Amino acid sequence: MKNIVRTVAATIIASSLLLPTTAVTASAQSSLSSGTFDLGMSHDSDPVAVQLEKAFEDYGLSRGHSLDLNAEMRAELLLRSVIKGHTITRNGRYLQLDPASNTLSSVSTVTPKEIQDFLEGINGGERLATSYFSGAPFRFGVAVGVKNGTYYLVTTQFTN
């Protein structure tokens, strides 16, 4: 178990070194005034992905949770890993617990119909977020991307 945690931690640290420092700095500076974080790497300008990410963040904020730049970066890194095929989902889901950093990340594949229902608030579309945003307030980050018509919703939260 320790080897797995060390490997995951090393991968996250190594990957984070590849992030452009200026993008992170610019995002952090702009986030102070806007209240949201977006490193601009997750959605490749796909309008549906952009809408879903923003709506998911807004939903979490409206439930008393708070956005966290570190959690956002971790979600972006995991999304890139999934998009590149380095992280494999089972039945459209993937969970990653990192006890060293007290983070829990999840990947879910989301259908265009589920996205539409969530954005329009119809057909119980809130189920997409209510299961994630239950319990006491926590810090979180979200990344959304699409590959070959499949949308990936990645969330990271601090468990402490």
pLDDT tens column, 42-53: 445 799 999 999
Q: Is the pLDDT of residue 35 over 90?
A: no
The predicted structure's pLDDT at residue 52: 93
What length does the chain have? Answer: 160
CA angle at 119 for the pair 116 and 96, rounded to the nearest 5°: 90
The predicted structure's pLDDT at residue 123: 60
The predicted structure's pLDDT at residue 10: 44
* Per-residue pLDDT tens digits for 71-100: 999 999 999 999 999 988 888 899 999 999
The predicted structure's pLDDT at residue 69: 96
Side chain identity at residue 3, one-letter code? N
